[in-house]
Amino acid sequence: MSDVDAAEEWLDSWVAGVDARARSAVDLSRRVATLTGQARSEDGLLAVAVGSGGQLVRLDIDDDARRRSGAELSHDIMALVGRAQADLSAQVAEQVRETVGEDTETGRAVINSYAERFPEPTGEPGEDRAR
């Protein structure tokens, strides 16, 4: 085999690898675009869903939630949004593992981006409402 043949084989292999990584990245992007993070209060009176960008896309408030003050309700909803965003972040990490891999530059960047924007919440709805 000549040096030219070896170089062509290497180039073909490199192009195939790039194509495969690009397909995986497109697959990841499509999967992430369909994800929805969700959270429900322990009493079942509140539920939220966030879209793939972390934005609130659904808020369900049971009529029995009227027993809470406005401040309590607001706090609990915000805490649930945080939990739904953390759920979204976990789902994104799973999709990264299934497509591009968490050990790739793309995988690390996507996981870190979601983890930084949507950190794991520390409290539960209904806890420490005085803050």
Q: In terms of DSSP H, where are the helices of the chain?
A: 3-33, 70-98, 105-117
Strand partners, 46: 61
- pLDDT tens per residue across span 2-25: 777 777 777 767 666 677 778 888
Q: What is the mean pLDDT of residues 102-127?
A: 85
Instruction: Indicate the helix (H) or strand (E) that contains 56.
Output: strand 56-61
Measured distance CA(63)–CA(40) in Å, rounded: 15
- pLDDT tens per residue across span 53-71: 999 999 999 999 999 999 9
What topology does CATH give the domain 3-117? Ybab; Chain: A; (3.30.1310)
Write down the pTM of the prediction: 0.80
